[in-house]
A and B are shown apart, each in its own frame.
Chain A
Amino acid sequence: GAVVSQHPSWVICKSGTSVKIECRSLDFQATTMFWYRQFPKQSLMLMATSNEGSKATYEQGVEKDKFLINHASLTLSTLTVTSAHPEDSSFYICSATWGGGNTEAFFGQGTRLTVV
C-alpha cells in the first residue's frame, strides 16, 4: 500500500510553545489529507480536512486558530498546535487519500504530543 510518513513520532514541549507536525505522502499525490485526534483507549475524532491549495475545513468544536493546518503541496500537510497546553496532550494522526470516498485512506504513524 501507499506510504504516509508522519513526523515527529513523539514530542514533549513546554506549555505555551507551538509544535508542528508534518504529514507526507511518500509515493502518491494526496489530494486530501485528514487530521485526527485520539485520546487513550478511545476512537479517532476527525479534527479537520485539508485539500491542497485551499483552506482546511474544521470540524465543529475544533479551534482553527489553535490548530493551524497547511496543505501547501500534494505531498505535505502540517498541523501546528499553537500555544500548547497540557489539555492538548494527545495522539495526533494524519491520513491521506488521492481519490474520492471509495478509495482507502493511508495513515501516518501518529504523533504523541505531551505538553508539560
Chain B
Amino acid sequence: SQQGEEDPQALSIQEGENATMNCSYKTSINNLQWYRQNSGRGLVHLILIRSNEREKHSGRLRVTLDTSKKSSSLLITASRAADTASYFCATVGGSARQLTFGSGTQLTVLP
C-alpha cells in the first residue's frame, strides 16, 4: 500500500510563480526522494534528502524534511511551463531498498 499522501492532488499556477507540494508519510524512514513524471513516461529522480537532513537545494528546487511531523515539502521556484508534470515523493525505510510512493501531485504551469 502507499506510504503517504501528497497535497494538493492538483495544482495550477502561472509561469514565474512558485509551486509548493507537500508529502506526509507514516513510518520511520532512511530517506525521502522526490520524482517527476511526465505523462505516460518513466520517472526522473529530482532530489534525495536523508533522515538527518532538514533542507536541501538543487537549482530551482528546495526540499524540506520534518521527521517529527513525518512530512516533506518540495518547492519549485520561478516555475516554467516545462515543469508541468506529476510529482511524487517516495520513502525508503528500515532495511528495505524499495521506494514507497505517495499519491502524487499533478502540477500544471500555465504560460
Contacts and interface: CB of A to CB of B under 8 A. Distances in A.
28 contacts: A4-B42, A41-B106, A42-B103, A42-B104, A43-B88, A43-B101, A43-B102, A43-B104, A44-B101, A91-B40, A95-B99, A101-B30, A101-B92, A101-B93, A101-B95, A101-B96, A101-B97, A102-B50, A104-B33, A104-B45, A105-B99, A106-B45, A107-B35, A107-B42, A107-B44, A107-B45, A108-B42, A110-B42
Contact of B31 (A1, A43, A95, A102): A102
Interface string B77-102: 00000000000100011011111111
Binding site secondary structure of chain A: strand
Interface residues of B, number: 27
Nearest to A46: B98
Contacts, number: 64
Contacts of B60: none
Interface residues of A, number: 27
B103 A34 contact: no
A93 interface: yes
Interface string B31-53: 10101000011111100101000
A43 B99 CA distance: 12
Given A107-B43, A109-B42, A97 B97 contact: yes
Given A43-B88, A102-B48, A34 B98 contact: yes
A105 B42 CA distance: 12
B14 interface: no
A110 B101 CA distance: 16
A113 to B, nearest CB: 13
A102 B94 CA distance: 11
Contact of B97 (A32, A42, A109, A112): A32
B99 A109 contact: no
B2 interface: yes
A101 B31 contact: yes
Given A43-B2, A44-B88, A46-B98, A104 B103 contact: no
